[in-house]
A and B are shown apart, each in its own frame.
Chain A
Amino acid sequence: MERNVVFIALFAALIAALGLIPRITLASGIPITAQSMGIMLCGTVLGARRGALAVLLFLLLVAIGLPLLAGGRGGLGVFATPWAGFLFGFPVAAFVTGLVVERWRRGNLALIAGVAAVAGGIGALYLVAVPYYMWAKPAGLSEALITAMAPFMPGDLIKAVLAGLITAALAKARPDSLLSRA
């Protein structure tokens, strides 16, 4: 019980910390924030249920007024834009990512976690975020894909690959702490 609560809380804090450290610049010069990679890592490391709970806890603290989103944003206002579907999709993304890592046990962990991060952190996330944008703005499908999805796609693919590599490195260093495989 205590271990679950503390891991959930510390990963919520980790998502916040990843938004606070200087943004990561890729070799190609595209700056990305590591925050959405934190969502993927919650799934790959904590598993489906705990991962989703960590993200929900993070969003709760953002909603009650802590500036934990990348760039020091927070408060209720961030949930009022048509892009808020990304925030609402974060727990789903972590859940799906965790589910894949929990169920698919044989094979190279870096590959499995990377595929899981693509399925959850991109597939499931956009399945929530794009329809939400279409409903909340309101917008047609092509507009939603161009203004809500396309700008983030390249960064998200890179983050999914990195999430896979980082998960495998963590499993090597602290095999007992990989709760998704416990």
Chain B
Amino acid sequence: MIALTSQIETPYHRLPAGLKLALMCLFTLALFLHDDLRVRLAALGVVVLLHLVPGMRFAREAAGHLKPLWVFVLIIAAWHVATVTMADGLRVILLLLAAVGLANLVTMTTRLDDMIGVVRFLTRPLRGVGLRTQALEVSIALVIRFTPVLAQKGAALVDAWRCRSPRRPGWRIVTPLILLAVDDAERVAEALRARGGVG
């Protein structure tokens, strides 16, 4: 499975993941608290600039990730045009674009193992009070391994349906998919137990 990290190497890749996440949280919070139109416009400008530093190819890739956002922008715009509160709408849309753009930038420039490192750091207090977090790490690995497996089984069920019916595959393939997932789960649990468990 492909993570959303960009293959284009940027200077941001070398920054520590924790630092990037902390800066992102501060920036978003500050922006949320300041609803001045100029502040938000400037903030969006900064985010756009940050995207342009690594080059146009990177900026275009980022824009691709942000495409689903336009639906949300349209819904907000439609509401504020309908209620004649355009200035408020603009404030909200600027905040949305800046906050989501920056968060997307962090995701695109932070490798999955660095993110998992942050998760491990954040769950350290839990280990301090005696909780065993190995289960969490095993679960993360299991989800990453089994999402493509289940997606493939789902696709096979869709194909099998199409072989037999001219109609589109409907919700009926969800039941066999869950059956397959449950059977996999029982077998994997048994295999894990046989190999000493998850700690």
Contacts and interface: CB of A to CB of B under 8 A. Distances in A.
A binds B: yes
Interface of A: 1-3, 5-14, 16-18, 20-22, 24-26, 34, 37, 41, 45, 57-58, 60-61, 64-68, 71, 73-83, 136-137, 143, 146-147, 162, 166, 169-170, 173-174, 177
User: Chain B contact residues: over half helix, strand or loop, or mixed?
Assistant: helix
Which of A8, A17, A174 is packed against the most chain B CB atoms within 10 Å? A17
A42 to B, nearest CB: 11
B1 interface: yes
A73 B83 CA distance: 31
B144 A14 contact: no
Given A75-B108, A80-B28, A57 B68 contact: no
A76 B106 contact: yes
B177 A162 contact: no
A73 B68 contact: yes
25 contacts: A3-B189, A5-B142, A8-B139, A9-B138, A9-B143, A12-B139, A14-B177, A14-B178, A14-B181, A21-B177, A24-B171, A61-B144, A65-B107, A66-B3, A74-B107, A77-B100, A79-B103, A80-B102, A82-B72, A143-B79, A162-B171, A166-B174, A170-B178, A170-B179, A177-B186
Given A57-B139, A137-B92, A170-B182, A16 B151 contact: yes
Which of B4, B28, B190 is packed against the most chain A CB atoms within 10 Å? B4
A169 B176 CA distance: 9
Interface of B: 1-5, 21, 24, 28, 32, 65-66, 68-69, 72, 75-76, 79, 83, 92, 96, 99-104, 106-108, 110, 112, 115-116, 118-119, 135-136, 138-140, 142-144, 146-147, 149-151, 153-155, 158, 168-171, 173-175, 177-179, 181-186, 188-190, 192-193, 197-198
